[in-house]
Amino acid sequence: MVKRPRSLLSWLPQRWGSQPLRRRTLRAWLLGAAALGPAQAAQWPGGLGPVPPARPLFAPACAAPQSPLERAVWEVVRAGAPDLSCLNAFVGFQRTPRPAPAAGGEAPTDAFDEIAAQIRAARSEVLLTNMQWDFGPDAQGRGMAPGSVIAGAVADLYRQVRADPAAYPQGMAVRLSLGGYPDLRRTIDGATQVLSLARELRERGVALDDPAARWRLSLLHYPYFPHSHVKLHVIDGQDVTVAGFNLSRVQLPKSEGGDDQHDIGLRLRGPVAQAGVAVFDDLWRNSRQLRCPPGVAPERVFQNCSLGAPDPVSHPLAAQFARPAGEARAYLLYRRPGEDQADRAHLALLNAARREIDLMQVDFSPEPTCWGANAGPAGCGADSPYFSSYLRAVLGAIERGVRVRLLVMPNSTSLERPGNRAGIALLRYEARRRGLERLFEVRHVNYKMHDKVIAVDRELVSVGSVNFHFSSWGPLGLNEAALITNDPAALREHQAEFESIWTSPVLSRAAPEERWLSRVRADPSLTGKPGPAQPSPSAP
């Protein structure tokens, strides 16, 4: 049982500096929360506690993995929970944006088309959570936003269930969870997105509850600060996908009103899907559920529906078994305030690397205090409390002789990626001080990338929502999820994509070095080799 902290200040990471600095940081968090409205600001996550483990009715007996790399992750994920890591199968990667059609070929699909097909094929249960949902065509009438694609698939499934209830002997349960993304339009409860989803479903003729067809639809809103960044769906308790993409318009091609944003999800079948159910159940228990009058008209949803206590967590019997599907190992990671399993497992993965780490990351930054460290590392190096745990783990791998390659978005002029340049500069600085700069290579991608992928030693690949950014880690980090597998086909497919981007002058380019790095020399106290020590360079 986790004790409630004595004060909110104790939730801030010690690495954020002295108590006065942490107090100022807490004040900034609270002011930001208050700006979103009193109801949202009140949902502080301090009492959430640990996440209940998965409880399938049946789970196979899994032997401990033999690989030291896998064993490091397994020991974190296995602790206090059933072992769901064995007998899984790789189904495929789900990708955005939709590729351009080939001449004379079939129309290509994207991740949202594939998710919609999965929903239509469900036999007893659909669980789906995402942070950000967009609906309808854009202002020019182009494309259909992913939120509407999902709503359309739910409407198709509802019609199928009504037309042939006997084909669904356990009925159909559809649970859709929205992550509580900051809502500046409806600050009283932050419910704009969940109400918009309800309105869209009612416009498509979907009943929120239809006992005659044994149809149960739950719309859930996660209210806790900061919010849920998890992108996950589970079909029938047997098929799980964890992704980095939102259900947002930017993932669509520009021809459809989007921004061609590249992202990826990892889809597996097998026992690990029950770990995905446990993640969804945690969001469900801690959410508010939308309540509407029976048969509410679409145009009255915003006026007549409101958030209330959630229904008790329940699942159809057929969706409660951890059924074997293949021979691959898989590990589902999850974190939120009160639960740091994903933090510990990702660090264990990086700390166990022995040969190479390939990273595809939209973010790669230190703590916010050091987002200006591209001008000079003073006060932000590896001995600083602002050198994030994930950067420290990558540096530790370099110190062990591991080759690290990073594909990353360049710094943005917006607030999205102000620290990538600093994160790269700090890693290069520390690698140079150790005489190991050859082991850390960085290329900027020349397209819109939103991926969060880690591949280690060509043995494991991790895909999910976890950024190398302070907001994804620590006691006040976002809710996040990732899925790891050792499946050879998944590893080959990802490695081929990584190499194609890394070696292409069209898709990527070498990340330039900061000028002051040329003055950094190896420090004999760090390398063990004799030579003159060099002072830390100052900003030019």
Question: pLDDT 10s digit of each residue in the chain, 540 long?
Answer: 333 333 344 444 444 444 544 444 444 444 444 444 444 443 888 889 899 999 999 999 999 999 999 999 999 999 999 999 999 999 999 999 999 887 767 889 999 999 999 999 999 999 999 999 999 998 888 889 999 999 999 999 999 999 999 999 999 999 999 999 999 889 889 999 999 999 999 999 999 999 999 999 999 999 999 999 999 999 999 999 999 999 999 999 999 999 999 999 999 999 999 999 999 999 999 999 999 999 999 999 999 999 999 999 999 999 999 999 999 999 999 999 999 999 999 999 999 999 999 999 999 999 999 999 999 999 999 999 999 999 999 999 999 999 999 999 997 655 556 799 999 999 999 999 999 999 999 999 999 999 999 999 999 999 999 999 999 999 999 999 999 999 999 999 999 999 999 999 999 999 999 999 999 999 999 986 544 434 444 443
Tell me the CA distances in angstroms from 263 to 98, 243, 426, 482, one per residue in order.
11, 8, 26, 14
What's the gap between Cα 445 and its chain centre? 20
**Residues 502 and 495: beta-carbon distance below 8 Å:** no
Give which of 151, 91, 89, 93 is closest to 120, Cα–Cα. 151
Structural domain boundaries of the chain?
88-97+110-319, 350-523
Q: Would you give the distance in Å from CA 344 to the centre of its chain?
A: 15
Are 36 and 223 within 8 A, CB to CB? no
How far, in Å, CA of 446 to CA of 459, rounded? Answer: 28
User: Closest Cα to residue 223, out of 191, 185, 256?
Assistant: 191
Retrieve residue 349's tokens: 């993965």
Task: Output DSSP code: residue 417.
Answer: S
Distance CA 473, CA 463 (A): 16
What angle (nearest 5°) sits at the alpha carbon of residue 211, between those of residues 207 and 217?
A: 45
Q: What is the DSSP string of 136-198?
A: S--TTS-S--HHHHHHHHHHHHHHHHHH-GGG-TT-EEEEEEE-----SS-TTT--HHHHHHH
Angle CA 388–389–391, to nearest 5:
65
Contact 464, 243 (CB under 8 A): yes
Instruction: Compute the C-alpha angle 184/189/190, nearest 5°.
Output: 40
* Per-residue CA distances from 12 to 8, 137, 337 (Å): 8, 41, 11
The span from the CA of 488 to the CA of 499, in Å, is 16
Distance CA 174, CA 353 (A): 40
Contact assessment for residue 427 and residue 395, using Cβ atoms and an 8 Å cutoff: yes
Q: Contact at 8 Å (CB) between 281 and 81?
A: no
Taking domain 88-97+110-319, whether its CATH number is 3.30.870.10 is answered by yes
Of the candidates 78, 87, 119, the one whose C-alpha atom is nearest the C-alpha of residue 233 is 119
- Quote the CA–CA distance of 422 and 177 in Å, as a whole number: 35
Distance from the Cα of residue 509 to its chain's centroid:
26
C-alpha closest to that of 93 among 74, 73, 78, 115: 115
Rounded Cα–Cα distance for residues 488 and 150 (Å): 31
Task: Report the CATH architecture of 350-523.
Answer: 2-Layer Sandwich (3.30)
What does the pLDDT read at residue 102?
A: 75
CA dihedral for 417, 148, 263, 326, sign (positive or negative): positive
Give the pLDDT of residue 18: 47
Q: Is 350-523 the same fold as 88-97+110-319?
A: yes
Position 164: which residue type? D
Q: Specify the 3-state DSSP secondary structure of 337.
A: coil
Environment class of residue 458 by beta-carbon count within 10 Å: exposed (0-12), middle (13-18) or buried (19+)? Answer: middle
Rounded to two decimals, the pTM is: 0.91
